[in-house]
């Protein structure tokens, strides 16, 4: 029995070392992506996160900081806000859930020191397990202890594998990666926005007649609240924005109201505003979007201009305790 337990422990140690080294070998030397399995490491993947985070280190004391999913980095155009008189940085990332927002805030909030955080809230990210966005973040930012706590929180094998692989990469290799600012139809704009070449939504009826519900996850709300507490502690104002999606996509969910109620409750608790832009603006599913989730440049102009009009009502230099529910 003793021999069995000792040998089992020895084997587990051997297998752990083999696993970590094997993971690195598989990830680094096996070029075909279909063989990489549960290692999902992609520097400079979809959404220019690598460039955005590199650039974030060079920005300071902005008026506005945008947080959220691809609706953020494809929906808030820094150029329009600059014209409107606001300096800004866009810290959105693909499918960003509150778990990743938490890490980004820990890493970049002090540096960017915004006057107002525009927290883009989308029920899809509140219903997500956060795997996709954590892989994106791990691959495109330097590692620290918060990556491990994020992995433990998400508890998914893909996240653990990518974490170990990323750790070894950072320790063993020099990072020579340079991300191209232009990728297919996308162009990275300084400040974090990703501009898509003008395009119209070719399937505006894609979600018509669908009837489904968001399965909102408690863990995402508790992380969301942690982020709000962090901002409050730093004396930074925030507001919640539900960016526009196509009306067909929006209406395909039966429980939008449940989400609105939750967000309004948070807005009330923190004396701020929640603006759901769906149905508020005159947007056409085909003309102002390039797909069901994302506005095209014409749509972005309409959305951002309307949002800036709302922002004008806020005094960004006021203390946190002053209510922002004026919009």
Which residues make up the interface to another protein (CB under 8 A)?
A: 1, 3-4, 7-8, 11, 14-15, 18-19, 22-23, 26, 34-39, 131, 156-158, 161
Q: Which is nearer to another protein, 5 or 317 (CB)?
A: 5
Q: Which is nearer to another protein, 14 or 177 (CB)?
A: 14
137: tokens are: 């973040």
C-alpha distances in Å from residue 147, one per residue of 16, 133, 137, 141: 20, 12, 9, 10
- Rounded to the nearest whole angstrom, what is the least distance from the CB of residue 153 to another protein in the complex? 15
Return the number of other C-beta atoms located less than 10 Å from residue 222's C-beta: 11
- Rounded to the nearest whole angstrom, what is the least distance from the CB of residue 23 to another protein in the complex? 7
Q: Which is nearer to another protein, 132 or 285 (CB)?
A: 132
- Rounded to the nearest whole angstrom, what is the least distance from the CB of residue 5 to another protein in the complex? 8
Pairing relationship of beta strands 186-188 and 194-196 according to DSSP bridges: antiparallel
Q: Which is nearer to another protein, 7 or 60 (CB)?
A: 7
- Rounded to the nearest whole angstrom, what is the least distance from the CB of residue 24 to another protein in the complex? 11
- Rounded to the nearest whole angstrom, what is the least distance from the CB of residue 129 to another protein in the complex? 9
Q: Which is nearer to another protein, 36 or 54 (CB)?
A: 36
Q: Which is nearer to another protein, 38 or 43 (CB)?
A: 38
Q: Which is nearer to another protein, 76 or 165 (CB)?
A: 165
- Rounded to the nearest whole angstrom, what is the least distance from the CB of residue 192 to another protein in the complex? 30
- Rounded to the nearest whole angstrom, what is the least distance from the CB of residue 150 to another protein in the complex? 16
């Amino acid at each position: 029995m003793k021999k069995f337990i000792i040998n089992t422990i020895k084997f587990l140690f051997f297998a752990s070392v083999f696993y970590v080294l094997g993971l690195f070998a598989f990830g680094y030397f096996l070029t075909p992506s279909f063989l990489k399995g549960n290692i999902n490491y992609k520097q400079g993947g979809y959404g220019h996160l690598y460039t955005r985070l590199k650039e974030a280190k060079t920005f300071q004391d902005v008026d506005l900081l945008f947080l959220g999913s691809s609706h953020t980095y494809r929906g808030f155009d820094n150029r329009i806000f600059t014209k409107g008189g606001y300096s800004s940085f866009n810290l959105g990332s693909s499918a960003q859930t509150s778990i990743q927002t938490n890490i980004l805030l820990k890493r970049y909030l002090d540096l960017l020191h915004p006057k107002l955080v525009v927290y883009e809230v989308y029920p899809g990210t509140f219903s997500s397990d956060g795997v996709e966005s954590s892989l994106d973040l791990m691959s495109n930012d330097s590692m620290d202890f918060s990556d491990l706590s994020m992995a433990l929180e998400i508890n998914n094998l893909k996240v653990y594998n990518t974490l170990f692989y990323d750790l070894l990469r950072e320790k063993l290799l020099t990072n020579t990666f340079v991300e191209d600012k232009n990728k297919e139809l996308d162009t990275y704009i300084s400040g974090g926005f990703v501009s898509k070449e003008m395009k119209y939504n070719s399937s505006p009826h894609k979600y018509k007649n669908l009837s489904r519900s968001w399965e909102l996850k408690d863990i995402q709300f508790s992380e969301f609240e942690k982020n709000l507490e962090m901002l409050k502690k730093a004396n930074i104002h925030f507001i919640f924005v539900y960016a526009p999606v196509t009306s067909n996509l929006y209406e395909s969910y039966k429980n939008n109201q449940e989400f609105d109620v939750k967000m309004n409750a948070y807005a009330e608790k923190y004396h701020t505003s929640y603006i759901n832009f769906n149905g508020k603006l005159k947007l056409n599913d085909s003309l102002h979007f390039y797909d069901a989730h994302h506005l095209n440049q014409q749509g972005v102009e309409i959305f951002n201009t309307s949002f800036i009009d709302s922002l004008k009502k806020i005094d960004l230099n006021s203390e946190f305790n002053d209510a922002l529910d004026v919009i």
